[in-house]
Amino acid sequence: MVNESTSATTRLRIAIQKSGRLTDETERLFKNSGIKITESHDHLLAHAENLPIDILRVRDDDIPGLVMDHVVDLGIVGENVLEETTMQREVDGLYTGYRRIMQLNYGDCRLSVAIPAEKEWHGLKDLEGLKIATTYPFLLKRKLTEIGVNFKAVLLTGSVEVAPRAGLADAICDLVCTGATLQANGLKEVETIFESKAVLIARDQELYPEKQAILDLILPRMQGVMAASESKYIMMNAPRAKLAEITAILPGAENPSIIELEGSPDRVAMHVVSREKVFWETMEELRRLGATSILVVPIEKMLG
């Protein structure tokens, strides 16, 4: 049982998306960072079993405001929502201060303009005077104002892609991940105006020492999970004379560990962490240089 009288100063409170495209990856990040949460998605407020952390599950567009209003200490939200909400609050005269802690490596999407597939496209100037359906009027206005394009925004909160077919708009500006939904509605993506990932943000005032200690504990863990997911552990046997060439073609590789092979003075075992993707072409180049028994292994956690 959490003591509500002390939680405000001792328990770190984090707002996350209740359901949506960031939810599963965020919960996986918590799990891999050693934050154990067992409550189901039906619970608005969940408590970590092993750390003084409270998780507030809310709509994604509520998260920036909860951080800016100092209701929660941290929030994980898409950069698209963060930017749009910040501009909306500026117009409404509300406080917009926050600290950006780090960009996360999931939640990739882009805010793009799409038009009916049969229409020609020459650039954003083609939008002059058109009606554009969007959930992100401020991001769209910022971009089009930069190039002097006048338009009428049609604000929709869902199913934006049906607007042209329904006669509500001439074009749309919406989030795109794969583009399949656009094609299904007879649209084509023509220009990206904003690219987004998930981001960890914090309130812009100093945390209580107890809360700061928790953040100092979990932040390196999260950074380690991020680094591990983008890295691979590579093992191979390699010609000693080719070590420099092999290291040079491994993307983002740290200094390799070299282990002598019994009975093979001209060959060594080579272990290396690569912080970028390793493609088949890289492995084939390693083999061409004389490497054998090449293993590429995913890394679950990494510190330092």
Tokens encoding 59: 């709509």
Q: What confidence score (pLDDT) does residue 20 get? A: 87
Q: What confidence score (pLDDT) does residue 8 get? A: 78
Do the beta carbons of residue 133 and residue 163 sit within 8 Å? yes
| CA-closest candidate to residue 164, choices 190, 145, 142 | 190
Q: What confidence score (pLDDT) does residue 242 get? A: 93
| CA-closest candidate to residue 75, choices 257, 255, 204, 223 | 204
Burial of residue 263 (number of CB atoms within 10 Å: 0-12, 13-18, 19+): exposed
pTM of the full structure: 0.82
What does DSSP assign to residue 41?
Answer: T
Tens digit of pLDDT for each residue in 237-275?
999 999 999 988 887 667 889 999 988 899 999 998 887
Q: Collect the ranges in the chain with pLDDT lower than 70.
A: 1-7, 39-41, 252-253, 304
